[in-house]
Structure 1
Amino acid sequence: MPLHDHFRPPDNRLPWEPLHSGWLSELAGRINERLPEGYVALDRVRIGGGLEIDLGVEELLSGPGAGSEVPAGGVATATTRATYAPPAASGSAEYTFPDLLELRVTSATGDGRVVGAVELVSPGNKDRGTKREAFVGKCLDYLAGGAAVVIVDVVTDRRANLHNDIAERVGAPSELMLSAESFLYAAAYRPVRRGKRTQIDIWVSPLAVGTPLPTMPLRLVGNVFIPVELEWAYVEACRRRRFVA
């Protein structure tokens, strides 16, 4: 199913709010089917200080190292080898991370380290001023704590580009920035330490109403990635809400 404009008639018969919650639920279920032992994906995770992740992947257990590259700020651990090979990154940004911000949530089984976050951009996130800056700052906090991030923006009634804001903040090269006309997009960010260098690998894909959604890579740890299947979860969310194109 191609992407629809859920902010304008006639496709706003499935408004953004129920689509947002349903899309997150479907993504969490799909990701959990693909996660190795020791990890769990939970939608609407709150971190200690009140910071909310739309969808967080939490590491419950530790295991042997997985790969020579390690996440910035952490040690590479995984309980299984990768079953998904991501495409080559669109590019990388050299970035000096601030002092480590450890991202943790508490569950009934103990502390779990958040290793990945998926954020569906909301209309409020694209407001000018403090809300927009708060979203960018939240994503940078995830990266500083060693967590990979995927953001998805299908908000058609506001034209701010949060990916460009993030890319500018981390000093990404100009070829990783989207044009002013590209205000719908999906982007993935992977913090990594290569030798003495700290970098952020970036994947970016412009989106458009009427076209299918991409699959984006979410790094768990080291070189272990899982696919974030945006199209599959979007179709399921629409189908379960009786939205038929």
Structure 2
Amino acid sequence: MLQDHFRPPLSTRRHWHAFHNAWATYIASDLNAKLPEGYFAEPNVQFGIEIDVAAFEESQQDFAHETGVIQLPTESQSRWIPPEATQTVPFLPTTESVEVSIFDTETGPILKGAIELVSPANKDRAAHRAAFVSKCETYLRQGIGLIVVDVVTTRQANLHSELLARLTEGKASSVKLNLYAVAYRAIDRNGKPSLDIWQEELAIGSILPILPLWLRGEICLPVDLAATYERTCREQRITVSTA
């Protein structure tokens, strides 16, 4: 049964981001047990900006040698001074991402499906919501199957509605739920591209649903949110209330 991880008493006993991290891991594990040969699922959890190339400062003792301290060549200490930036603009990065990615390895890892667990930062301001919606839109326009799960109780924005408005230019309406899980499948039927949607309302104390994850192509997997959620609760030693 779904609990409120963002308000007391649970929010004061467990960190929600640790739970999301574990939940993404167990969803990936469950999918790996179901995926056909040549596919794999892996969690991708980021809190803060991911660094692709990092530079670190080390103390002189890190270069100690039995004959003494190794002196670095003076040429390594560049005297180059960077010029002034040509422009400085306000910038708000998207710093939180909790997702499960499914890849096809036949010709190298190719993304086939994604599951996004919404975090509070994804909903807290317009720029963050737009970044999240843009990422989901990119997936769907590439034909990548997508599931979005929103159990965040402390923010009221509906990212599914914003995504649908973006995709249909406001021509399609949706049921604006506070908590929800929704699956998407981009498909071409008789030359007409369309988007299949499975939306489920969530509520604190309710059982989480099983949703279809359509990988690019014709493979469909059941994503058992209830089973993986309950496993995460067990592993995190969270007592599930039945009241």
Q: TM-score, normalised by structure 2?
A: 0.74
Residues 136-155 of structure 1: matches in 2 within 5 Å? 136-155=133-152
1:54 to 74, 85, 99: 99
Residues 23-172 of structure 1: matches in 2 within 5 Å? 23-44=23-44, 54-61=99-106, 111-171=108-168
- How far is 1:45 from its partner? 7.7
Unaligned runs of 5+ in 2: 47-51, 53-93
- Matching of residue 187 in structure 1 with residue 186 in structure 2: no
Question: 1:19-64 CA distances to partner (integer Å, 9 max, x unpaired)?
Answer: 1001001000000000011100011189xxx896711000112xxx
1:203 to 198, 203, 216: 198
Quick one: distance in 1 between partners of 2:124 and 2:105?
A: 35
- How far is 1:223 from its partner? 2.8
Question: 1:72-130 CA distances to partner (integer Å, 9 max, x unpaired)?
Answer: xxxxxxxxxxxxxxxxxxxxxxxxxxxxxxxxxxxxxx631101000000000002221
C-alpha root-mean-square deviation of aligned residues, in Å? 1.9
**Is this contact kept in 2: 1:53–1:117, CA < 8 A?**
no
**Is this contact kept in 1: 2:24–2:98, CA < 8 A?**
no
**Is this contact kept in 2: 1:45–1:56, CA < 8 A?**
no
Structure-1 residue corresponding to 2:60: none
Quick one: distance in 2 between partners of 1:29 and 1:121?
A: 19
**Is this contact kept in 1: 2:21–2:45, CA < 8 A?**
no
Identity over the aligned pairs, expressed in percent? 41
Quick one: distance in 2 between partners of 1:217 and 1:192?
A: 14
Quick one: distance in 2 between partners of 1:150 and 1:159?
A: 19
**Is this contact kept in 2: 1:191–1:199, CA < 8 A?**
yes
Structure-2 residue corresponding to 1:4: 3
The one-letter amino acid of 2:101's match is G
1:236 to 222, 228, 231: 231
**Is this contact kept in 2: 1:188–1:217, CA < 8 A?**
yes
Residues paired across the two proteins, number: 189
**Is this contact kept in 2: 1:31–1:41, CA < 8 A?**
yes
Q: SS of the counterpart of 1:30? A: helix
Quick one: distance in 1 between partners of 2:38 and 2:180?
A: 31
**Is this contact kept in 1: 2:213–2:222, CA < 8 A?**
yes
Structure-1 residue corresponding to 2:207: 212
Quick one: distance in 2 between partners of 1:158 and 1:221?
A: 32
Quick one: distance in 2 between partners of 1:169 and 1:129?
A: 14
Quick one: distance in 1 between partners of 2:204 and 2:98?
A: 26
Q: TM-score, normalised by structure 1?
A: 0.73
- Matching of residue 226 in structure 1 with residue 213 in structure 2: no
**Is this contact kept in 1: 2:21–2:98, CA < 8 A?**
no
**Is this contact kept in 2: 1:126–1:160, CA < 8 A?**
yes
**Is this contact kept in 1: 2:2–2:206, CA < 8 A?**
yes
Larger Rg computed on CA atoms: 2
Q: SS of the counterpart of 1:235? A: helix
**Is this contact kept in 2: 1:189–1:200, CA < 8 A?**
yes
Question: 1:172-200 CA distances to partner (integer Å, 9 max, x unpaired)?
Answer: 633xx123xx2100001111111221111
